Amino acid sequence: MSKTKTVKKSDFWERNKKTHGYLLEKTIWKYTYRVIRALLLFGLCFLILQPLINKLSVSFMKQDDLYDATVIAIPRNFTLGNYRLIDELINYWKCMWNSLWIALLISCLQVIACTLVGYGFARFRFPFKNLWFACVILVIIVPPQTILTSLYLNFSSFDVFGIFNLVLKRKLNLIGSMTPYVLMCMTCMGLKNGLYIYMLRQYFRGVPKELEEAAYVDGCGNFQTFVRIMLPDAKAMITSCFLFAFVWQWTDSFYTKLFLGDKQVLTKGLNSIAGRLDNYVQRQGWGTFAAEAFLQQMISTGVLMAIAPLILLYLFAQKGFVESLSQTGIKM
C-alpha cells in the first residue's frame, strides 16, 4: 500500500510539473470548495434542527432542571412524566386517532379530485379554460380567512337550488360534521387544493402526448388512458401531493375549528394545553414563574408528540417525495 501511495504521489507531482502547477491549483480549489460546502450544509442543518433538538431535550427534563443554569442541553434528571402528563391533559391517543382518519380521508379526496382536474387542464380543451385556471390561481393566492364568513353562512344554512327548503321546509345546518369538508375537497375547494392542481397540471403537461396517442390507437378511451398510462407514470407526483395534503391537514386549525365542532383532534388539543395546564398548576400550588416555565415545557412536549407521526410518515415516503421533486424540476 505504501509503495502504491508513493507512486501516486510521484505521478501527481510529475503531472503537476508538466501542467506548470495547474493540477495543484485545481486540486486545492476542489477541496476548498468541498470544505466550504460541508460547512454551509452543516450550518443550515443546525439552524433547522437546533430548535427541534432543544424541544426534545426540554421534554425529558424534570422541573428542577428547568431552573438549573448548569443544565443546557442534556437533562440531569431524566423523566418521561411530561409525555404522560400531556397524554392525560389532551387525551393524546384519541386525538391522534381522530386526526389520523380525518387527515387520511381528506388527503385521499383532495388527491383524487385534484388529479382529475389537473389532468383535464393539461390535456383537454373546454370553454373558458383560461378563466377557470385563473380561478385556480386565485384559490392559491387568496387566504381562506377572507371567505370565512361566507363559508360559515353557506354551510350553516345549506341548500341546493332551494330543494331542501322545499322538501324539508328548512335548510340544513352542516356545521359540526365532516360533510362540509368532504364537499369542499370533492369540489377542489379544500385546503391548498389550488396548489395541488397546479403541480399535477404542470406534471401532466410534461408527459409526451405520444404515449396517449399510442393508447388511443390500441383502443383505449380517455378514461382508460388516464388510468392505465398517466396515473402509473404520475405515482411520484401524486405521492408528493398526498404528503403535502396530509401534513397541512394534520396541522390545520382553521377548517378544523370552523367545521368539526367539538371533535377532539391534535390541533385543538395543543391549543388547549395552556388552559388545562393552568388548572393543574393551581392544584400544585406553584408560583407564576414556575407556571410559565412549565407551560413552555409542556407546549414543547406536545409539539413533539404531534409531529412524531409526520416524521415517521416522511421516513416511509421520502423516496417518492424526492423523486417527484426531481421529476418536476426536469419537466416543468
10-residue averages of pLDDT along the chain (332 residues): 56 73 80 90 85 85 79 82 86 89 91 91 87 88 84 84 78 84 87 89 86 82 84 85 89 84 83 79 62 79 87 76 54 44
Closest CA to 305 of 103, 129, 82, 8: 82
Kindly report the length of the chain.
332
| CA distances, 108 to each of 112, 258, 313 (Å) | 6, 21, 15
pTM of the model: 0.79
Q: How far is CA 29 from the centre of its chain?
A: 39
Half-sphere exposure of residue 113: CA atoms within 13 angstroms, side-chain side? 21
Closest CA to 193 of 138, 234, 233, 149: 138
Run of H or E including 287 = none
Residue 89: per-residue pLDDT: 85
Residue 113: per-residue pLDDT: 92
Residue 329: per-residue pLDDT: 45
Residue 290: per-residue pLDDT: 53
Residue 35: per-residue pLDDT: 92
Residue 288: per-residue pLDDT: 55
